[in-house]
Structure 1
Amino acid sequence: MKGARHTPLNISAAALTLSLSALLLTTPAHTAEPKPSDNGAGSNQQGGGSDDTGIYAAAQVQYSGAVAKNGGIGNVSSADVNWTPPACWYAPYLGAKDFKKKMSSDIEKWQNDPAITGTADSAIGEVQRHYKDDYGWADTPGYKDYNVDKDGEGMFWAGVENPNEPNYAARTSCSDLPFWVENGETPPPQYEEAITPEMLAALAYQHMELPGTKVTLAPQAITKVNLPTWAWLDKAVFDEVQATAAINAPGFNITATTTAKPKSLTLSPGTADATTIPADGGCPIVNGKIGEPYAKGKAKQTPPCGIVYRRSSGGETFPLKAALTWEISWTGTGQAGAVGLPDGTIEAVQNITVEEIQSVNR
């Protein structure tokens, strides 16, 4: 049978929607609770588990390295506002025999559900024909007995939602019926959302947790008008941070590691009545460090990184914002070298009190 790939069944759109929604074998990108990360010091977040039939779901993503706690998104933000991780994807789900067991159980349950009647029941019957009786359409062939004669030679792939995607329509858009992929082969080209190392790298980016950005100041929380305030970051912040995302299923092993390296610090004094040093507020990494610690005898020197406030905070405080920019790249399965991703930023705000310098006339 030939026809459009997204309208395989000769029934109403409403019934097809019901059938497809029932057949979305989606699994959260991660369900197991990860071990806490420690400022990028490494933790493991394991995907895996089983559905209500007890069949292992291979489509889950495994995270390791510097990933956020409890499966949440990390604290790094992309410097490119137009860049986003994938909202959903297709990934290995079940082998042929397990898929037949799962589908047969579901179809029997739907057929015995009195709420499913008419064209919806026809939709379920045609989906059953698709996997059991070699009923296909357009560029998507049907299957004979769920491909059980090929068990171990491939897997059925299914749609997976990114639980951190706020747009429901985007998150649920990987709605095609599960399809077969031979071991070592790539999915058919029409499945543009099939998981790739680059997509895994973006997911690792999304879950990456980086160290905080609290700068050290001299003077500390209270400074003086027209007195240079020195700013620097602890050298420990400059350690390279990595997060890895992987899918490891029989016949399919895809991995990507995203790496973040500190690049520069940008200071925003919290008031227009201040001068940043350098003038653009950007303090680059020089000889492996950002800024220079203040030392006795440097009071009259200009710091390589700092701020000069031109008026007092009047008994209040100024919100000094420090934004650390990280250069991010990834490597992964089949990738010869590192590939760049948009820079990431981490921001922190410190409240600064600025006082007038008091003088005594004699």
Structure 2
Amino acid sequence: MAFSVIAFTQAAYAGKPVGSDKGATTEETGGGDGTGIYAAARITYSGSVAANGSKGNVTSTDVNWTPPPCWYAPYLGAKDFKKKMSGDIESQMNAPGMGGHAGAALSELKRHYEDEYGWTDTPGYKDYNVDKDGEGMFWAAVENPDEPDLLKRNSCNDLPFWVDNGESPPPQYEQAITPEILAALAYQHMQLPDTEVSLAPEQTTKVNLPTWAWLDKAVFDEVQATAAINLPGFNLQATTTARPVSLTLEPGTDDAVTYPASGECVINADDSIGEPYARGKANRTPPCGITYLRSSGNGTYNLQATITWDISWTGTGGAGGDLPDGTFGNGQEVTVQEIQAVNR
């Protein structure tokens, strides 16, 4: 049996990070509002998250992997749920023209929570379970606001259900919040620093002159995002960790050669990437870099520098595992000039 008259969509996602350059936190969405406690996933960050400048979310290298479009999470205690639900039902039942199938559905919904009216695998409740207030919570569907597919976002369409403190949701609710879901949400909202590589020559280089590229260890480090739900009788969290493993250079033109040929510069033993240019290296091939074969004319080439991050997670109860690698990068304008010959 399904009811579509009343929708339950409570925010449980992260806002924008705020804080210092070595750690940040999000403003919590949800929390107490006088009617009860809403499901709220608070996400905090640590690592090389810049305080200023542009930051961006990681992009999965697995095109088939997506964060969950919706899930079920703790919503309200019994007394607060009764106040909220009974008010909503009465308001809609008294709305003009509310009759027929919609009116009948509302009547059955009221019976479900007041008079123990249930069906297969879905028991009814006596007076909204108020005699068990404080011993558990009603759980409700939560949409992922970043899911573009409306049907997927609304696919968690079961009615709110009761879960005793310390107990797991009934098995039929496969999309109930878990550490793995929290890890995926942390992944989705992972804030990574800019990827601006050091170049020699800087900004302006010459045709057929190798340009060295590198990232010092101090420039970037692993980033962590922790998603947690902490409510009376319910605590769950997961920490997603992103570790940089390689840098990919895309010159911004086909008239260029990358080093190595793949354009992917792997991380060194000291956690740096590439090698800084220094005097005496002019005749050497850079371990990470580019040689442009044609001038950029009156414009520039947009060099794309993208970091690949190895991503894993750990969570409540010793859970954990790997998530798809992620990428994040940005562009740098590079001017390439012809070498001017001097004729005598």
After superposition, the C-alpha distances for 1:329-356 in whole angstroms (9 at most, x for unaligned) are 11101125x4111111112111222122
What letter corresponds to residue 332 of structure 1 in structure 2? G
- The whole-number CA distance in structure 2 between the counterparts of 1:30 and 1:239 is 25
User: Would the alpha carbon gap of residues 192 and 121 (structure 1) be closer, same or farther in structure 2, given more than 3 Å must change?
Assistant: same
Equivalence map 1:140-179=2 (5 Å): 140-179=122-161
User: Would the alpha carbon gap of residues 263 and 224 (structure 1) be closer, same or farther in structure 2, given more than 3 Å must change?
Assistant: same
Counterpart selection for 2:39 from 59, 70, 74: 59
Which range is displaced more, 102-111 or 248-257?
Answer: 102-111
- The whole-number CA distance in structure 2 between the counterparts of 1:183 and 1:330 is 26
- The whole-number CA distance in structure 2 between the counterparts of 1:111 and 1:78 is 46
Q: Is the 8 A contact 2:300 2:335 kept in 1?
A: yes
Q: Is the 8 A contact 2:13 2:40 kept in 1?
A: yes
User: Would the alpha carbon gap of residues 68 and 178 (structure 1) be closer, same or farther in structure 2, given more than 3 Å must change?
Assistant: farther
Tell me the CA shift for residue 138 of structure 1.
1.1
Tell me the CA shift for residue 298 of structure 1.
1.5
Partner of 2:23, secondary structure, is coil
Counterpart selection for 1:353 from 319, 335, 341: 335
Counterpart selection for 1:202 from 179, 184, 196: 184
Tell me the CA shift for residue 137 of structure 1.
0.7
Tell me the CA shift for residue 282 of structure 1.
0.7
Q: Is the 8 A contact 2:31 2:39 kept in 1?
A: no
Matched with 1:3 is none
Tell me the CA shift for residue 37 of structure 1.
4.8
Q: Is the 8 A contact 2:56 2:193 kept in 1?
A: no
- Aligned pair count reads 338
Q: Is 1:288 equivalent to 2:271 in the alignment?
A: yes
User: Would the alpha carbon gap of residues 333 and 151 (structure 1) be closer, same or farther in structure 2, given more than 3 Å must change?
Assistant: same
Partner of 2:159, secondary structure, is coil
Q: Is the 8 A contact 1:35 1:43 kept in 2?
A: yes
Tell me the CA shift for residue 230 of structure 1.
0.3
Tell me the CA shift for residue 107 of structure 1.
2.0
- The whole-number CA distance in structure 1 between the counterparts of 2:102 and 2:108 is 10
What letter corresponds to residue 38 of structure 2 in structure 1? A
Partner of 2:267, secondary structure, is strand
Matched with 1:125 is 107
Matched with 2:173 is 191
Matched with 1:97 is 79
Structure 2, unmatched stretches of 5+, are none
Counterpart selection for 2:240 from 233, 241, 258: 258
Equivalence map 1:1-362=2 (5 Å): 7=1, 16-17=3-4, 19=5, 22=6, 24-30=7-13, 34=16, 36-37=18-19, 41-50=23-32, 54-65=34-45, 74-286=56-268, 287-336=270-319, 338-362=320-344
Q: Is the 8 A contact 2:68 2:144 kept in 1?
A: yes
What letter corresponds to residue 58 of structure 1 in structure 2? Y
What letter corresponds to residue 322 of structure 1 in structure 2? A
Q: Is the 8 A contact 2:20 2:50 kept in 1?
A: no
- The whole-number CA distance in structure 1 between the counterparts of 2:185 and 2:247 is 25
Partner of 1:98, secondary structure, is helix
Which range is displaced more, 170-179 or 349-358?
Answer: 349-358
Which range is displaced more, 258-267 or 314-323?
Answer: 314-323
Q: Is the 8 A contact 2:36 2:77 kept in 1?
A: no
Tell me the CA shift for residue 152 of structure 1.
1.7
- The whole-number CA distance in structure 1 between the counterparts of 2:317 and 2:228 is 13
After superposition, the C-alpha distances for 1:181-224 in whole angstroms (9 at most, x for unaligned) are 11111111211111110010010111111110011110111111
What letter corresponds to residue 88 of structure 2 in structure 1? D
User: Would the alpha carbon gap of residues 84 and 38 (structure 1) be closer, same or farther in structure 2, given more than 3 Å must change?
Assistant: farther
Tell me the CA shift for residue 244 of structure 1.
0.8
Structure 1 runs (4+) deviating above 6 angstroms are: none
Which structure has greater strand proportion?
A: 2
- The whole-number CA distance in structure 1 between the counterparts of 2:19 and 2:66 is 23
Q: Is the 8 A contact 1:77 1:345 kept in 2?
A: yes
What letter corresponds to residue 329 of structure 1 in structure 2? S
Please tell me the root mean square deviation across aligned C-alpha atoms, in Å: 2.1
